[in-house]
Amino acid sequence: MKKRCAYCGEMIQASAMDCEHCGKVLRRTGSEAAPRATGLQKWQKGVPSWMIYGAVLFGILLIFLMYHQVSERLAEPAAKPIETQPLDQGAD
Ligand SMILES: [Zn+2]
């Protein structure tokens, strides 16, 4: 029994795990027309777009929060109010 290679179109053994003509690894045996999906395309299909945008936004938010915390810590010593004078001076 033979089948057609999904990559180069040559006839190969149906039980073959990889094509003897182009050398591509055939994981799915039985289906003649395997979809030519790259890893990225599969990843994009599996992950919804809102999740990608959400992850990007979350990253930006994290960076913003970290930057905000660092700037707050740097500004803390200068922002402290200096009150050295006592309020009750006229107690005699
Ligand atoms: Zn092939």
Gap from CA of 25 to ligand 1 centroid (Å): 9
Alpha-carbon gap, residue 25 to 8, rounded angstroms:
12
Question: Is the domain of 46 the same as that of 66?
Answer: yes
**pTM flag (> 0.85):** no
Ligand 1: distance of its center to the CA of 45 in Å?
A: 25
DSSP string, 18-55: B-TTT--B----S-SS-----HHHHHHHHS-HHHHHHH
What residue numbers bound the domain in which 10 lies? 1-29
Q: Mark whether 25 and 42 lie in a shared domain.
A: no
pLDDT tens for each residue of the chain, 92 residues long: 899 998 999 999 988 888 999 999 887 544 555 556 677 677 667 778 888 899 999 999 999 999 888 887 777 666 566 667 666 766 56
Residues 43, 72 within the same domain: yes
